[in-house]
Structure 1
Amino acid sequence: MAWLAIRSEDPTAVAAALGLTRLRPANWTSGVGAIYDSEISNGLVFIAPPIKGWTLVAAESLPIPAGDAFIDKMTPLLRHLAIEFQSVQCFASFPIINSYAWARFDRGRRVRAFAVADGGVIWNNGKPSQEERQLGLSFIEVRGIRERHGDLGGELQLYPTEDHVYAIAGGWSINPMAIETLRAPAGVGWVADAPRSWRPERVRRVA
C-alpha cells in the first residue's frame, strides 16, 4: 500500500487539492475495506477521517517512484500539495517487489526523500532523518576504494523493510498500523476515484 500523510483536519480540502472525483462518504471500516477489496480496489482512494491533526490518503494507485524508466509523478504531486498544506509526507511499502519509499515536505520545502526498489535506489535527497538513523538505515558510498576484491556496484545498500516504513511514518506523523491504539475518533472521510494522471507512464526516449 502507498499513502500520504497531510497536516490537515479537512478531508474535503485534501480531496479537492488532490483533484479527486466522485466522492462517497466513508468511515475507517468502509474506506479501508474498499481499498483492500480485490474486486473493487483498483483506482479507488480512501481519504480517512482526520486523526491527531493529520489526514491520511491511501491507495494502491498512488504514483509511487518506479525508477528512470518511468515518469516521476509523486514529486510534482508532493510539491503541489506542499503549497497548500504545512506538512506533506508520502510512504510506500510493496514487499512483493521490494519497493519502499518515504518523503517529507515541510513549509513548502523538501526535507527528505528516499525510495528503493529491485533496481536500486530511486530517490536519496536530503539528510537521513533521526528516525532513519535510529533504525540503523544507511546508504554507504564506497566509490574510489582501490584494490578491492569483487564488484560492489559502486554502492553498498542496506535495504529497508515494511517495518522500517511504518516506524518512520510513526516518527514523522501517523503509523497506519497503530490506528487502533491511537484511539482514532469516529468520523467520516471519503472514497474517491483516482485521477487518470496518476497512472504509470514510461519515459519516451528519442532513438
Structure 2
Amino acid sequence: MILAIVIMVTLTVAIAARVLAPRLAGDRVLFEQSPDHPSPFGYRMAWLAVRSRDTEAVAKELGLVAPEPCNWRSGIGTVYDNHLGNDHVFVSPPVNGWTFVVGLALPFPAGRTFTDKAMPMLRRLGDRFVEVQYFFAYPPIDCFAWARVLDGRVVRAFAITDSGIMWNRGRITREERGLGLKLFDFRGVRGRKGDAGGEIVFYPTEKHVLSLAKRWSIDPSGLENVEIPTPALGLIALAPASWKPERANKTGMKKAG
C-alpha cells in the first residue's frame, strides 16, 4: 500500500514538474489553469478536509495570501515541490462535498518548545464550517496527527512526534478502534531502564492516517478513482506568515487548545 502511494506521488510530482517548468515568467510561476480531475496525495503530507463546496470561502477563512486559480495536477505538484512547497498550499475544488487544503506549509504540532498554531486554526475553521478534519503524516520526523472538529467542538485530536505525544483530546473514536493496533508500527522503547526495559511507545504509520481519513471522509491517496461530474479548478496560494513555526515563551509556555 505504502509503496503504491509512493509511486503515485512520484508520478504526480514528475508530471506536474513538466507542466510547471516551462511556465516560468521571471520569478513568478504561472500555474496551470486547465480544469482537470483529482490527483492523489497523502504520502509525507499535511491536509485539511473541510465539509464545504465553497473553495473560495475556505481559502478566505484561512487568510491565504494571493490565491489564484490552479488545477489539481499543478497544485499537488507545487505542494510536493522542494522549494514551492515550503510556503504554498493548494485548496481543491470540492470532491463529494469535501474541500481539501493541502501542503506542508500548514501549521502542525511541532513540539513542546513551539507555539501550537494548528489547534487555533482548527477552532477558527470549526466556527465557520460544520466539520473540519486535519491529518499529518511525515515519517522522517515520526510526526503523525489527526483531529476532527464537529459543530465548532474539537471531538478528537491526537498528535505524536519524536518528542512524544503533543495532542490527546477527546475519546478515541470508533473508527480509530476499528483500525486496531495491527496498523501501528513498533518503532522503539522510551525511557528504557537497564534490563527491565521501560515504557513501550507505538507510533502510527502513514497507512493508519490514510485509513482513518478514509473512514472519516476520503482517503486522498485514492482520489484518482473518485468520479466527479466535470473537471474543475482549485486555488494555489501562499501561506500566511502567522503560520510559521515560533518558539514558545518559556516564561509562560502553554499549549493552545
Please, what TM-score do these two structures have when normalized by structure 2?
0.73
How far apart, in 2, do the equivalents of 1:108 and 1:117 lie? Answer: 26
Q: Deviations over 1:99-122 (max 9, x none)?
A: 000000001111100000111111
Higher helix share: 2
Residue pairs, 1:71-86, within 5 angstroms: 71-86=115-130
How far apart, in 2, do the equivalents of 1:197 and 1:55 lie? Answer: 22
What displacement does 1:137 show? 4.0
**Match status 1:50 vs 2:94:** yes
Q: Report the identity percentage.
A: 47
**Match status 1:205 vs 2:225:** no
The code of the aligned residue for 1:102 comes to W
Residue pairs, 1:109-148, within 5 angstroms: 109-137=153-181
**Equivalent position SS for 1:123:** strand
How far apart, in 2, do the equivalents of 1:114 and 1:152 lie? Answer: 23
Residue pairs, 1:46-195, within 5 angstroms: 46-137=90-181, 150=196, 152-153=198-199, 156-184=200-228, 185-195=230-240
- Give the one of 57, 67, 87 matched to 1:23: 67
What displacement does 1:151 show? 5.1
Extract structure 1 runs of 4+ deviating beyond 3 A. none
Q: Is the 8 A contact 2:78 2:88 kept in 1?
A: yes
User: Structure 1: which 5+ residue stretches go unaligned?
Assistant: 139-148
What displacement does 1:40 show? 2.0
What displacement does 1:39 show? 3.2
How far apart, in 1, do the equivalents of 2:248 and 2:55 lie? Answer: 33
Q: Is the 8 A contact 2:66 2:237 kept in 1?
A: yes
What displacement does 1:129 show? 1.3
Q: Deviations over 1:50-69 (max 9, x none)?
A: 10000000111111012211
Q: Deviations over 1:66-85 (max 9, x none)?
A: 22111010110000000110
User: Structure 2: which 5+ residue stretches go unaligned?
Assistant: 1-44, 183-194, 253-257
How far apart, in 2, do the equivalents of 1:84 and 1:204 lie? Answer: 29
The code of the aligned residue for 2:251 comes to V
What displacement does 1:125 show? 0.9
How far apart, in 2, do the equivalents of 1:66 and 1:42 lie? Answer: 15
How far apart, in 2, do the equivalents of 1:121 and 1:39 lie? Answer: 29
How far apart, in 2, do the equivalents of 1:137 and 1:102 lie? Answer: 16
The code of the aligned residue for 1:56 comes to F
Q: Deviations over 1:13-44 (max 9, x none)?
A: 00000001211101111110111122322200
Please, what TM-score do these two structures have when normalized by structure 1?
0.90
How far apart, in 2, do the equivalents of 1:137 and 1:47 lie? Answer: 33
How far apart, in 1, do the equivalents of 2:116 and 2:221 lie? Answer: 27
Partner of 1:13: 57
What displacement does 1:176 show? 0.8
**Equivalent position SS for 1:159:** strand
1:63 and 1:181, CA in 2 relative to 1: closer, same or farther beyond 3 A? Answer: same
The code of the aligned residue for 2:226 comes to L
